[in-house]
Amino acid sequence: MGRRMKKFIKHLIRYNAFDYFNPYLRRFYRKIGLIDYMDRRAYWFMWKLVVILKKKFFPGKSTGRANVPMKGAGLFVSNHSHLFDPFLSACHVHREVHWLSKIENYYIPFFRPLLQASGSIPVRRGQSDQNAIRMIREKLEAGKMVGMFPEGTRTKDGNLGRFHTGAARMCIEYGIPYVPCVVLNSYKCKIGDRVDVHIGKARYPPKGIELTYSNVLWFTDMMRKDIVDLLQKYDKNETIKIPAEMQTPVMIPAQFRKLQAQKIQE
């Protein structure tokens, strides 16, 4: 293929009609009050399509679908090894999951309309993005489920990364649960590779917990522990390496031990 033809094809992809007309179409739907309805229809259409594509190109086992609460606000948290992790994991959840996505993904041809229709939240990394925080709050206050990667970005070496505190802070502030999930073998996966998805039980913050830095750190450690426990249980081939410091046990603060003991007895 000649150089001019390659340049022409790149030009067609970059300035495709799908991306060009999408803002006008969304503006029209918003004007007539159908934007939410059309977004829901688009989400579930894409969900069914992703289910079919995953079975075809990334077959694998999934467990724990019933662990996801079907009502109420919550966070869906997962490890992050591949660009397609949001799709590979959310296609096993029978409710809408609105993922955080870095702003750079919105400039990939054909991606912006799909991200907008699925209710994704654009995030500017490396700064305090007040617009993203506002959109997350709106989703949670509306009783939606928001998808987040506590590591903040994809792993570059196959190791589980350090967890940030943002997700735990949201859980404590709003008194909502998080649902832990692990996506196995997606790191540098190729078409035909087996990709397994395992979802753990929802964890709620203790009733009456205060929004303090120490409590946020502790709940972040609990989140990390739940993800690590799922990896140790299901990742027999160690496709994701767990650093030694990530495997340290989590101590339950004294004021929450009695509550934890009551939950175990129940």
Average pLDDT, 10 consecutive residues per value, the chain (266 residues): 75 79 89 91 93 93 93 94 90 93 84 86 82 91 94 88 92 94 90 93 89 91 94 89 81 62 42
- What pLDDT shows up at residue 152? 87
Nearest to 76 by CA among 84, 156, 158, 67: 67
Looking at residue 262, its pLDDT comes to 43
Angle at alpha carbon of residue 245, lines to 240 and 248, rounded to 5°:
100
For the whole prediction, is pTM greater than 0.75? yes
CATH of 35-260 among 3.40.1130.10, 3.40.50.300, 1.10.3720.10, 1.10.287.1770: 3.40.1130.10
Look up residue 96 and give its DSSP letter. Answer: -
Burial of 89 (C-beta count, 10 Å sphere; 0-12/13-18/19+): buried
The pLDDT assigned to 20 comes to 82
Q: Tell how strand 178-184 and strand 196-199 pair up.
A: antiparallel
Residue whose C-alpha is closest to residue 38's, from 53, 27, 54, 52: 27
47 Cβ neighbours under 8 A, 6+ residues apart: 90, 91
Long-range contacts of 35-39, Cβ-Cβ distance < 8 Å, separation of 24 or more: 38/117, 39/116, 39/117, 39/118, 39/119
Token pair, residue 195, equals 């990709």
